[in-house]
Amino acid sequence: MKKRLVPFFLFFLLGALNAFAQTSARVQFVNASADPACASIKLWAFVPASPPTIPVDFWLGDNRLDNIGNNSATPLIDISEFITGTISYPVTLRYRVTVAGASNANTYLADMTVQVNSAGDYHLICHGVAEANDFLPNPDSEPTALALSAVPVGNGSTASTTAIRFFNAITDLGSLDLYADATTSNVASDASYGTHANFSLASQTQQLRIRAHSQTANLYSFEGDLSSLANDTILLLATGFHHADQNPAKTSDNPAVGLTIVRLDGTSTALNTLEGGGGTARKAATLAAQFAIYPNPASQTAHVRIENQAASHLHLIVRDLAGRVVSQEDLGTVNTGTSVFSLDTRRYAPGLYTVTLRQESGGAITQKLSVVK
């Protein structure tokens, strides 16, 4: 009798495991372009007809893929929402990039394809510039036109470490080495433009430093408290321009180099810049503002208190955890100092939301809001 139970038990166990296995890929769209033309973008997914003989192909641009600011991201979205029928891997996805709020994909900044090799979770990172002639070339001769890169989500986090996928999106800088705190050995080495590295950091890490590959001098240093990211998985973006003031065009609003933490739920945080070197590089100023939400959780009204270091044109965007935009406000020019704006949360269903403060000229920060009834 026992011999008959063993195969049955194994069959049951395999069935249970298959039930929990991820059978489709999920992608998180990330805007890592520093081009001011891409300060806020909309992505349109090409949806092929099924069967292909039926001429009903179309471009899908729903609210989850709109108003993606520089260094901002959506939550993970299952690619089955953009593909009809059975998905066979590897699969090629096609997207167009337009300015935020576009009503169609006929006029676009880029038309791009990207390959997803298997079921699993990916960062789908939009990087580069819309007009390469308006910006300095990459010193390693890497192409800098707008592109999409499918980067597998990192792994290996523990109760005391953070799993990090580092991506170099700085078009006018060569290969980078990344160092943590005062260590003399790098955590990421020779990361050229458009490539990524996977590693883990201790949660007590406070500083990160960027150097040109095999060089001893820091180009940039950043600080940030990673203690809240223990047992988490994040994307670490290096974005901006190293020679921000030397680009042939659009020099007034080119963001300088910065490091941004992007979480899988779509929230992002820019690290504070301690130093910026490298000749003409400017100190990063992705967003000269911070904000707080109170009360949080909120039942009727949530107040957003903004501490602005310099007058700037700001937008406030609220998304649900599926990435859909539930509200967006053009705050206009917000003066230096403290300003308070209100959100009528009675219009929202109970649950978690992300609130993004985006600067018109580029840069965004995101926090979570809980709505209760």
Task: Give pLDDT tens digits for 201-251.
Answer: 887 777 888 888 878 777 888 887 777 777 888 999 999 988 876 666 554
Q: Please tell me the predicted confidence (pLDDT) of residue 113.
A: 92
Residue closest to 78 by CA, chosen among 323, 320, 319: 323
Between 188 and 279, residue with greater pLDDT? 188
- pLDDT of residue 339 exceeding 60, the answer is yes
Handedness of CA 220, 221, 223, 224 (dihedral sign): positive
CA distances from 143 to 79, 117, 146, 202, 247 (A): 27, 23, 9, 34, 16
Instruction: Please tell me the distance from the alpha carbon of residue 265 to that of residue 347, in angstroms, as a whole number.
Output: 22
H helices of the chain, in order, are 2-20
Q: What is the mean pLDDT of residues 4-13?
A: 42
* H or E element that contains 340: strand 337-344
Q: Please tell me the predicted confidence (pLDDT) of residue 54.
A: 59
Residue closest to 64 by CA, chosen among 320, 330, 365, 357: 320
Average pLDDT in the chain: 81
- pLDDT of residue 281 exceeding 50, the answer is no
Q: Please, which pLDDT band fits residue 43 given cuts at 50, 70 and 90?
A: very high
Domain architecture of the chain: domains with CATH: 23-286 (no CATH), 288-373 (2.60.40.1930)
Residue closest to 31 by CA, chosen among 109, 92, 105: 109
Beta-carbon count within 10 A of 34 CB: 30
Residue closest to 260 by CA, chosen among 273, 276, 247: 273
pLDDT in tens, 9-24: 444 444 443 434 567 8
- pLDDT of residue 279 exceeding 90, the answer is no
Q: Please tell me the predicted confidence (pLDDT) of residue 323.
A: 63
Report, in angstroms and rounded to the nearest whole number, the Rg of the chain calculated over CA atoms: 22
pLDDT in tens, 65-103: 988 988 899 999 998 888 777 788 899 999 999 988 888
Q: Please tell me the predicted confidence (pLDDT) of residue 20.
A: 43
Site of tokens 């995101």: 366
Q: What is the mean pLDDT of residues 299-321?
A: 87
Q: Please tell me the predicted confidence (pLDDT) of residue 288.
A: 63
- pLDDT of residue 278 exceeding 70, the answer is no
Instruction: Please tell me the distance from the alpha carbon of residue 45 to that of residue 155, in angstroms, as a whole number.
Output: 27
Site of tokens 């990673």: 226
- Which residues, including other chains, have CB under 8 Å from residue 267's CB and lie 6 or more apart? 354, 366, 367, 368
Regarding beta strands 325-334 and 161-168, do their DSSP bridges make them parallel or antiparallel, or are they unpaired?
unpaired
Q: Please tell me the predicted confidence (pLDDT) of residue 166.
A: 94
Q: How far is CA 205 from the centre of its chain?
A: 21
